[in-house]
Amino acid sequence: MATTTDPAAEAGSSTKRAADASTASAGTDDFLVPSRFPYRTIAMGALGSTLLMLAALGAGGILIRDPVLGHGPLSWIRFGHGRALATAFLYVGFAMIVWAWVRLGRYVLANRIGTKAILVAAACWITPLLVSPPLFTRDVFSYLGQGAQLLYGHDPYSYGPAELDVLPDVVANVHELWQTTPAPYGPLFLLIAKAIVSVTGNNVIAGVVVTRLVLLVGLAGMVWALPRLVGKLGGKLPVTMWLAVASPMTVIHLVGGPHNDLLMLGFLTIGVLAALERKHVIAVILVTIGMLIKPTAAVALPFLVWVWANHLPGENKLGNFVRALVPAVGLFGAVFVTGTWVSLGSFNLGWVTGLSAPGLISNWMNFPTGIGELFYTLVNLVVDVKSSPFVTVARGLAWIALAVFAVRQWWKARDGGNEAVFRMAVTLLAVAILAPPTLPWYLTWGFVLASTFRWERKHLSIVVGVAVALVLVYYPTGEQGLYDWWFMAGVLAASLYAAASLLRPDPLGLIQAWRRPKTEEKAAEKAPAES
């Protein structure tokens, strides 16, 4: 896992690490590109991304009324065997992206490539997905529907997009769960969605593409901030970029989805950087703006107070804390009120109560929900009972545990600096896991910040497995596959294989077994014929 260890403290072991890396890569030359720039790996990922984009036309988050494929000669791809074929090709494209990403990770660990190659790879893999139908989610249609509500004078925090009697294509594509559900997003993001819909209108395809382009601002902010954060937090830049920018979690979920978490992460990373650079006013403003996009960013604010307090002169820690807390709260309040008023035209706090809406999603990916379902299953073997009380109690206990954990992490961050950022990342991960619901892309909140610290190779392997699983647990259509146990067995096998492949190429010897007969055949051809 990530660590806050100062890299200078490990300078004495750098020679040993280099020797270990050389030894580890000595037997894998067949799997590593000798060139300094991994053209073939980037091309493989780009081909996979293109295949993903094309297959999504039939197997992704397709439109209810598709003006391009709905009734044309290619409409077969959306139904029956055509859709099954598209689904198969989509997973092939996904596998190619993961394979390319894992190969890229091996080059990083072997010190064969730098940051430029990773950024080029990420750009090549992201570009085809900019015009793809939504992948593994339909949330973007909710964004457009809620933006349309605001555009036409409705309150998105009182009711769902179903109340609209305009833009029928936008409304029709919102998932049925969110048709009548208030928006759980910050007011600033709804203002952005309103602006997008004001341009794209009832053209849902244009709305999805423009939304992705707007969210790329967040990715650009991350790419700008992460190298500077790495310099302060002791990580290794190629590893950070490989984890935070080129990962399938970013490429497929945050961009291919797309998800507004990407925009929030841009403000969060720049805000954390500003705090470490002693620009505390800017830091609080930026993170509060991130909260007005995705409320989760608020978790970072208490940790920024510690960073600010420890930059103040004097030995009185309590006094410094108060001197940092008062202006931080004042800045937060001013930005919060102004941002809400500008976005909604009034100080409407309905979006705060709307945060409970995602809790309607109930599945075992959320740890406490899974525990509740497990106890329900065991009790239900003996007595016929409903599952809701078990899930409700488990979630309630998890909220208490999360509150205790978050306060403890915040207190441990009281020395500010790198430790505060590390505790912030850990707390964001805990929120994603313990607060219902847990959706796959939520783990990027903590992963992006954690990527800027130093990582052990074995922990990077675990991240690979988790990243692959978090994309696959939802079907390409956006519906979850968590209770299809045969499907989940396949997800587990694919994730474990990808994780093992980072540290040991071809861990099951499949490629070598395929190559061996060809090698033997060539040797036989070269052998002299018997007389």
Q: Once rounded to an integer, what is the mean pLDDT over residues 80-91?
A: 93
Contacts of 71 (CB under 8 A, 6+ apart): none
Q: Which two tokens stand for residue 27?
A: 């037997």
State the Cα–Cα distance between residues 401 and 48, nearest whole angstrom.
41
Q: Once rounded to an integer, what is the mean pLDDT over residues 294-318?
A: 95
How confident is the model over 25-61, as pLDDT tens digits?
434 444 554 357 899 999 999 999 999 999 999 999 9
Question: Would you say 44 and 86 are in contact if contact means Cβ atoms under 8 Å apart?
Answer: no
Query: Is 50 exceeded by the pLDDT of residue 249?
Result: yes
Convert 288-331 into a string of H (helix), E (strand) and C (coil): HHHHHHCHHHHHHHHHHHHHHHHHCCCCCHHHHHHHHHHHHHHH
State the Cα–Cα distance between residues 186 and 385, nearest whole angstrom.
38
Q: Which of 209, 223, 197 is nearest to 127 (CA)?
A: 209
How confident is the model over 461-474, as pLDDT tens digits?
999 999 999 999 99
Predicted confidence at residue 520, as pLDDT, reads 62
Query: Is 70 exceeded by the pLDDT of residue 180?
Result: yes
Predicted confidence at residue 72, as pLDDT, reads 74
Predicted confidence at residue 350, as pLDDT, reads 75
301 band by pLDDT with thresholds 50, 70 and 90? very high
State the Cα–Cα distance between residues 339 and 300, nearest whole angstrom.
18
State the Cα–Cα distance between residues 327 and 308, nearest whole angstrom.
10
How confident is the model over 482-495, as pLDDT tens digits?
999 999 999 999 99
State the Cα–Cα distance between residues 230 and 38, nearest whole angstrom.
23
Predicted confidence at residue 530, as pLDDT, reads 45
How confident is the model over 311-357, as pLDDT tens digits?
999 889 999 999 999 999 999 999 999 999 999 988 878 777 777 77
In DSSP notation, 248-279 reads HIIIIIIITTT-THHHHHHHHHHHHHHHHTT-
71 band by pLDDT with thresholds 50, 70 and 90? confident
**Rounded percentage of the chain residues whose pLDDT exceeds 70:** 90
Q: Where are the domains of the chain?
A: 36-70+77-133, 361-506
Phi, psi at residue 474, to the nearest 5°? Answer: -105, 145
Q: Once rounded to an integer, what is the mean pLDDT over residues 391-402?
A: 96
Query: Is 90 exceeded by the pLDDT of residue 359?
Result: no
DSSP state of 529: P
Predicted confidence at residue 23, as pLDDT, reads 38
State the Cα–Cα distance between residues 336 and 288, nearest whole angstrom.
7
State the Cα–Cα distance between residues 19 and 306, nearest whole angstrom.
40
Three-class secondary structure of residue 475 per DSSP: coil
91 band by pLDDT with thresholds 50, 70 and 90? very high
Predicted confidence at residue 324, as pLDDT, reads 97
State the Cα–Cα distance between residues 119 and 245, nearest whole angstrom.
8
358 band by pLDDT with thresholds 50, 70 and 90? confident
Chain centroid to Cα 396, Å, comes to 26
Q: Which of 391, 397, 400 is nearest to 365 (CA)?
A: 391
State the Cα–Cα distance between residues 467 and 412, nearest whole angstrom.
28
Predicted confidence at residue 258, as pLDDT, reads 96
Least confident window among 91-105, 322-336, 417-431, 504-518: 504-518
How confident is the model over 189-243, as pLDDT tens digits?
999 999 999 999 999 999 999 999 999 999 999 999 999 999 999 999 999 999 9
